[in-house]
Structure 1
Amino acid sequence: MTIGVSTPLTGHLAINNEPAEGLAAYADYINEQGGVEGRRIELKTVDNQGTVAGGASSARTILADNPFAICVLTTPAFTGAQTVLRTAPDTPALVLANGAAIKASDLPNVFGMYTDYTTESFAGIKYLTELGGKKIALVYDPTIVGEAGDAETDYAKSVDAELVSMINVPPTTTNYTPIIQQLKNAGADGVELQVGVQAIAGILKAAKEAGLNAEMMTYSSMLDSSTLAVAGDAAEGLYVTGLFPQLSASTDQLQEFNRVTSGDTHANTALGLIGWNAGMLITAAVKEALKDGGSLTPTSFQEALTSLGGSPGGVLPEIGWTPESHSAIDGGSPDVYTLYQVRNGAFTETQRP
């Protein structure tokens, strides 16, 4: 069973290759056990450079070999791959990108293996208001989460808050002092950070130096030791919305993930776990398609993936897919996220106020 993987092996989004590393670790793990119902998972990896053009070209390369399925990583690459994927409507596409972008594509063969960043921004805004925030700012990297807009503004109003600033932070940004000044000028008392780990660290350090008095919240990709390592003491007090469990969780699934990936610094990460989880869902769907003497085809595989919605799957307590929508694994609900805070240099699960 060949799955083509379009992933950023190079470029400024190369850290987002970690889900591909997690998926590869899972494929090796399941293949060593004889595969899925006797079928080996073979991955063909092509660099998409984390760009729109790279997404299109890598998708063409992969689909030319007629794979069983294709996996696309990063939102820019998926944006580029969409037109190509439309030419192969029978090929299942597993996408680790912003669920909002997947939903907007309206491609019925695409399954979102990650969160919808708009939904997660709602969760951050909601939790910040529960912490006492009334004037919320959204700081975002458009190459990761897309463009912010009216949806966030309207949601803030719905929870009796005001979105006072939306600050676009390109991934090439190195000077974060002007961002802190904008937050001060806006009077922000709560800040949702949807940027990469280097920007998280830079903003937190600049905020600490400037004495910015505002709660800081970030999204689930940052629930990783790399955030603590790069941000250092400046991360203390940072809140994080998390959908996927921490790597230190004591569940059987997490213990097995850690056992297999221990020592692999690229797979044994929060992003790597997302790829591993995708592998687990692929396995579950194959087994579902073959149940009761069924046959494994692209169509039966897609039907089986859809059927996983509403039930525990992979490392998650519930997969948020429905027959009508499978663009994001969070099901579009801000309330499915767990709240964490950095305390004494570690992520600690925190009760919502």
Structure 2
Amino acid sequence: MMTWAPQDTDATNKPGMPAMALAYAKWVNSHGGIHGRRLEVLTCNDHNDSVGAAKCARRAAAENVVAVVGSYSQFGDSYLAPLEGAGIPYIGGYGVTNDEFTGSMSYPVNGGQPALLAGLGKALAAGCGNVALVRPDSIAGDQLPALLDSGLKAGGHADAGDQLAAEDATEYAGQAEQALRYATEDETKKGCVVPALGDRTDTFMDSFRRARENFPDVRTATVLGSVDQTVINATGGASGPYEGAYITGWYPVATDPRWDPMKKVINEEAFGDNRIDPADAGVQTTWIAYQVLRAALEKIGDGEVSADTVRRTLNDGLRVSTGGLTPTLHWPYEGKLAAVGFPRLVNADVTLQVVRDGKLVAAGKGIGGSNGIADMTSTLEHADVP
């Protein structure tokens, strides 16, 4: 197998994902392997650029890996073609690109940005006045308003104000002010500002923190792809700009007992490795992705293990239980969301979390659904995606 992620770059870094993959392989191997076979994990740094991503994919093909598992890369157009050419399945990517929800070799375990934004829209519909969305001026960014609006509409709210921002800006004072002006136009109801700028969300929040002093109070909210516990810690925790913010996530909160098996593996094989934070959505995604791989290998049993047999096993209706961290996963040729352009999106569950005392915790008021988990499939079916 191979697991890749950006490390030591100036933007997004996910060192916990390859580290989690290595810890899991070590743990499996120390417990006799899978059907007596050892797991061998190769790791690769995609350096957060398209050249690095393509290089990792070509290396995966050259090394005859049976699957790329639990990886993060923003450059789907660079890595999916070489993987598809070699017939290598891409299991449980972070869900950061739309390619992961369209490519026939992709087996996503979460609903990516589409599910998170639809869920956030639904959560904000009841309590927000004007909602300002600040998003990248890019092709990927152009899809975000429709996704957020699908959730707002489902909750009976008007569309969000759509504000474009450069993806590589070093400050966002102008955008912060514009967002605040729009969000505070309706004095009868507290407005909400939603930055969805990926790794630049922090930079925006820095400008926003300074600008908000001149405006009435607003609520902030964002999605897990832009902010997770590691980001909250790095920006000052309880005294940082995210305190009180709503954040939609894919999985139960990190303190949920359903994560105990993962924590056990981390404690046994990677104790003291500070790259692996059990609250990091990347680490969690890698864990779930390896559960899928394990299920496929167990199904193959004593048969031949290759990229082809793993892919065939996944395509032949394999159903994977992840211990309640996701619904039972399986990948029909075309899922329910094929009509809106996401044929591979099979798990649209989201959870609503809030930053309280610097920690992401389950929000008291959910988005509906049972145990704080809501399925966004029907909301996304009505999304007007460009």
TM-score by length of 2: 0.76
Matches within 5 A, 1:163-178: 163-170=160-167, 172-178=168-174
What's 1:31 paired with? 29
Deviates more, 1:6-15 or 1:274-283: 6-15
Residue type of the alignment partner of 2:194: E
What's 2:321 paired with? 312
Q: 2 CA distance for matches of 1:209 and 1:285?
A: 54
Residue type of the alignment partner of 1:25: A
What's 2:297 paired with? 286
What's 1:86 paired with? 84
**CA-CA distance at 1:137 after TM superposition:** 2.2
| Of 232, 249, 272, the match for 2:283 | 272
Q: In 2 relative to 1, CA 14–183 (structure 1 residues): closer, same or farther, beyond 3 Å?
A: closer
What do the CA deviations read for 1:21-59 (whole angstroms, capped 9, x no partner)? 222221121122122121112122232211122212221
Count matched residues: 341
Asked if structure 2 preserves the Cα contact closer than 8 Å seen for 1:244 and 1:315, the reply is no
**CA-CA distance at 1:342 after TM superposition:** 1.7
Q: 1 CA distance for matches of 2:211 and 2:329?
A: 36
Q: 2 CA distance for matches of 1:142 and 1:289?
A: 45
Q: 2 CA distance for matches of 1:150 and 1:141?
A: 11
Q: In 2 relative to 1, CA 300–66 (structure 1 residues): closer, same or farther, beyond 3 Å?
A: closer
Deviates more, 1:153-162 or 1:60-69: 153-162
What's 1:224 paired with? 229
Where structure 2 has 5 or more consecutive residues not aligned to the other structure, the ranges are 185-190, 336-341, 367-386
Asked if structure 2 preserves the Cα contact closer than 8 Å seen for 1:114 and 1:330, the reply is yes
**CA-CA distance at 1:169 after TM superposition:** 4.9
Residue type of the alignment partner of 1:264: D
Q: 2 CA distance for matches of 1:145 and 1:228?
A: 28
**CA-CA distance at 1:183 after TM superposition:** 0.4
Residue type of the alignment partner of 1:206: R
Q: In 2 relative to 1, CA 64–254 (structure 1 residues): closer, same or farther, beyond 3 Å?
A: closer
Q: Secondary structure at the match of 2:32?
A: coil
What's 1:5 paired with? 3
Asked if structure 1 preserves the Cα contact closer than 8 Å seen for 2:327 and 2:347, the reply is no
Asked if structure 2 preserves the Cα contact closer than 8 Å seen for 1:266 and 1:272, the reply is no
Matches within 5 A, 1:56-135: 56-71=54-69, 73-88=71-86, 90-94=87-91, 95-98=93-96, 100-104=98-102, 107-130=103-126, 132-135=127-130
What's 2:354 paired with? 341
What do the CA deviations read for 1:289-329 (whole angstroms, capped 9, x no partner)? 22xx65544344224435454x5315614145431347799
Q: In 2 relative to 1, CA 133–303 (structure 1 residues): closer, same or farther, beyond 3 Å?
A: farther
Where structure 1 has 5 or more consecutive residues not aligned to the other structure, the ranges are none
TM-score by length of 1: 0.82
**CA-CA distance at 1:8 after TM superposition:** 1.6
Question: Is 1:250 equivalent to 2:279 in the alignment?
Answer: no
| Of 142, 151, 160, the match for 2:146 | 151
Asked if structure 2 preserves the Cα contact closer than 8 Å seen for 1:192 and 1:217, the reply is yes
Q: In 2 relative to 1, CA 154–225 (structure 1 residues): closer, same or farther, beyond 3 Å?
A: closer
Q: In 2 relative to 1, CA 57–129 (structure 1 residues): closer, same or farther, beyond 3 Å?
A: same
What's 2:134 paired with? 139
**CA-CA distance at 1:13 after TM superposition:** 4.0
Deviates more, 1:240-249 or 1:72-81: 72-81
Q: In 2 relative to 1, CA 244–308 (structure 1 residues): closer, same or farther, beyond 3 Å?
A: farther
Q: Secondary structure at the match of 1:42?
A: coil
**CA-CA distance at 1:141 after TM superposition:** 5.0
Q: In 2 relative to 1, CA 284–209 (structure 1 residues): closer, same or farther, beyond 3 Å?
A: farther
Determine which structure has the larger helix proportion and give its number: 1
Asked if structure 1 preserves the Cα contact closer than 8 Å seen for 2:48 and 2:74, the reply is yes
**CA-CA distance at 1:213 after TM superposition:** 2.7
What do the CA deviations read for 1:55-112 (whole angstroms, capped 9, x no partner)? 1222112212222223474343322112222312x322223332632223xx322212
Asked if structure 2 preserves the Cα contact closer than 8 Å seen for 1:218 and 1:239, the reply is yes
Residue type of the alignment partner of 2:352: L
Residue type of the alignment partner of 1:184: L
Q: 2 CA distance for matches of 1:60 and 1:72?
A: 17
Q: 1 CA distance for matches of 2:363 and 2:347?
A: 22
Asked if structure 1 preserves the Cα contact closer than 8 Å seen for 2:248 and 2:351, the reply is yes
Once superposed, what is the RMSD of the aligned Cα atoms?
3.1
